[in-house]
Amino acid sequence: MTISVGDRIPSTTITKVTENGPDQVSSDEFFKGRKVALVAVPGAFTPTCSARHLPGFVDKASEIKAKGVDEIAFTSVNDPFVMGAWGKASDAGDITMLADGNAEFAKAVGLSFDGSQFGMGERSQRYSMIVNDGVVEQLNVEAPGEFNVSSAEHMLGGL
């Protein structure tokens, strides 16, 4: 079942990319007591994700945070080393990278898909959400192949 506005983020383990390497944290702790803009993409270094999605949030990070967001995080079904390299290559220093290597988080929120026909295996759908103290306040799930409602601009309009 897909997560909805008003639902609490399910308890899972996610891997936060840090300067000191991968750091496994519980989703409960990561989202506790603050407002997080969470963005999910099918894959680091993929065309739309790298050319449009992440750069939009890099460019708009200060505006999003000025609207009361404490942290902006990107997640993908990639390992933490790929997520770290993607963040560095994209100059995304203001954005936290979260690796969901086994698609545990994507499955728990009901937003995974089978990308096997593209050689990608289980992946996350493209979406953005605002999570306030662990509860989803805003959820923007893209239709397959689309990039509109999960953009930084759309999120800013809803804050």
**Catalytic machinery residues:** 49
The percent of the chain in helix, strand and coil, each rounded to the nearest 5, is 30, 30, 35
E strands in the chain: 13-18, 21-26, 35-41, 71-76, 95-99, 112-114, 122-124, 127-132, 135-141
Dist CA 53 CA 31 (whole Å): 22
Cα dihedral 106, 108, 109, 113 sign: positive
